[in-house]
Amino acid sequence: DSGVTQTPKHLITATGQRVTLRCSPRSGDLSVYWYQQSLDQGLQFLIQYYNGEERAKGNILERFSAQQFPDLHSELNLSSLELGDSALYFCASSAGNPHYEQYFGPGTRLTVT
Amino acid sequence: KNQVEQSPQSLIILEGKNCTLQCNYTVSPFSNLRWYKQDTGRGPVSLTIMTFSENTKSNGRYTATLDADTKQSSLHITASQLSDSASYICVVSDSSGGGADGLTFGKGTHLIIQP
């Protein structure tokens, strides 16, 4: 158990809908990262927050947004969903600098039908 | 552009045998290289992290090597077990900026251990 929690575990929704994925980092970790992993694809970095502020952005679509709250939990919002958004979404956390240890959560499996 | 290439893409070996996975990178400037193990449908788990000055690092039956001159790393698994069946991901970070956008992920090697 990495100490990072993600909810829900599974999510099934229809095209055009909007969903919110939630992540709670390990106790004391200030940085939260979101990744997307499509079937048979590598991990794609989406966005990083550090202590409530956006720190780095990767290949995140304009339909997606995220935020980190004062209690350090984070939410990833996905809107106008398309079939191609079906994937595993992972959250990870670290104490600060991501160039050292990142701890990954169990992931949320999103299926768009 | 920073890149991380892993080989082979997939590998099947018999339980008890050894294997070596490769990672070649063109990330610059180099900060560190890490190997993750990812079981199917689960989050990646860190196996080793190596900085520029480290040539070898072990974690149980897993041994990672790093050649910073040739920009190559390998992950050697000794006496494989069925539980080693997973994807192994190589991640290289550059030393610029400090944000997660400085991480470059390989696509992984899918390892299957057969009894």
Rg (CA), chain A: 13
B52 φψ region: left (φ > 0), alpha (ψ -120 to 50), beta (else): alpha
The alpha carbons of chain B give a radius of gyration, in whole angstroms, of 14
Q: Does B17 touch chain A (CB under 8 A)?
A: no
Substitution target from B27, B105, B110 for chain A, most A beta carbons within 10 A? B105
**Antiparallel, parallel or unpaired: β A74-78 and A19-24:** antiparallel
3-state secondary structure of A79: coil
- The Cα of B34 is separated from the nearest Cα of chain A by a number of Å equal to 9
- Mean pLDDT to the nearest integer, B33-43: 93
Which of the residues A86, A99, A101 would you substitute to probe the B interface, choosing the one with the greatest number of B C-beta atoms within 10 Å? A99
* End-to-end Cα separation, chain B, in angstroms: 41
pLDDT tens digits for A19-65? Answer: 999 999 999 999 999 999 997 778 999 999 999 999 989 989 999 99
pLDDT in tens, B41-100: 899 999 999 988 889 999 999 999 999 999 999 999 999 999 999 999 999 988 766 667
Contacts of B26 (CB under 8 A, 6+ apart): B1, B2, B3, B4, B71
pLDDT band at A100 (very low <50, low <70, confident <90, very high): low
> Is residue B6 predicted with pLDDT exceeding 70?
yes
Q: Is the pLDDT of residue A101 over 90?
A: no
CB count within 10 Å of CB B49 equals 20
Find out whether B81 and B100 touch, Cβ atoms under 8 Å. no
The number of C-alpha atoms within 13 Å of B13 and in the hemisphere containing its C-beta is 23
Element (H, E) at B57: strand B56-59
| DSSP 8-class letter at A84 | G
| Dist CA A91 CA B8 (whole Å) | 27
> Cα–Cα distance between A46 and A35 in angstroms, integer?
5
Q: Is B43–A106 a contact, with Cβ atoms under 8 angstroms apart? A: yes
What is the secondary structure of A92-105 as a DSSP string?
EEESS-TTS--EE-
A56, A102, A106: residue with CB nearest B101: A56
Contacts with B8 (C-beta within 8 Å, 6 or more apart), sequence order: B21, B22, B109
Query: What is the predicted pLDDT for the residue at B36?
Result: 96
Residues forming a β-bridge with B94: B30
Measured in angstroms, the CA of B7 and the nearest CA of chain A are apart by 14
AA letter at A14: A
